[in-house]
Structure 1
Amino acid sequence: MVSDLLHHLDTHRPMGPDGIHPGVLRELAEVLTKPLSIISQQSWLTREVPVDWRLANMTAHLQEGLEGGSGELQACPSDLGAGKVVEQTILSAIIRHVQDNQAIRPSQHGFTKGRSCLTNLISFYNKVTHLVDEGKAVNVVYLDFSKAFDTISHSILLEKLAAHGLDRRMLCWVKNWLDGQAQRVVVNGVISSWQLVTSGVPQGSFLMSPCYSDY
């Protein structure tokens, strides 16, 4: 799995805090597969994540807004390195566990493989049309949580993961991964100081979606 992930790295992404460009990782995939597999296994067994792999460079991205080009600046991760490869190997184990234990409700469409906004709308309209055909009234309430990914409580997230049956080793690994997360902003070569991430799931992480879905 590590070999396949290395061979499919996006070489157009910039180098991360670990100082290794994705192009180098991809070019040396055959050589790096074994050592990265060993590091990944040791990380899993010791329940510790290398410090460098808990760091992220962020860039500002202008979201589409109202007429006139106004919008909101959103911080997005710009790097992709060895740490992300290990994240994906751990992610596969977590997703497999969640699916086997049916921890995600059937009504969940976001961040779920094989589902999307489109499948959500189809399911919604199907239920609404059935109710209307039966002569019943339908009231719809939409909720949007501002900065949802950034406000997740780490302690509550771990409690929910435990409630879904994640074993102690898996929980300890996720806790160690969340602890000590730090980010800095990089714009036109200018770099800010590091800031600790005390809440939320790191955006751009491969573990972001399943953790948010469980939350």
Structure 2
Amino acid sequence: MDMNNNLYTKNQSAYRKYHSVETALVRVNNDLLQAVDTHGEAVLVLLDMSAAFDTVDHNILLRRLHERYGVKGPVHKWFASYLDNRQQSVLIDGEQSDPMTIDWGMP
């Protein structure tokens, strides 16, 4: 997202001055309460892949998402792009290790 080119949506919280996770949560909470107050409907879908998949092999996860749960097309490609070819290294006292490919867990 680029503020110079007006690519932010009005609800964008990330990468904006005076916006944070807190402002995003306040907005979500407010929207849910307004829906309840007006007898409307609200659906909240959350995706937290941080600890739940620490030992899951990326290839197995991608295959199961496709074969077992029918995740395909752009959504499957999004998951694959998030997981494929991820690398990590460790920095201790100014010394950085060589990058290693992450085959398990979430980047």
* TM-score band, normalised by shorter chain: 0.3 to 0.5
TM-score by length of 2: 0.46
Give the TM-score normalised by the residue count of structure 1: 0.25
In our comparison, the structure showing a higher alpha carbon Rg is: 1
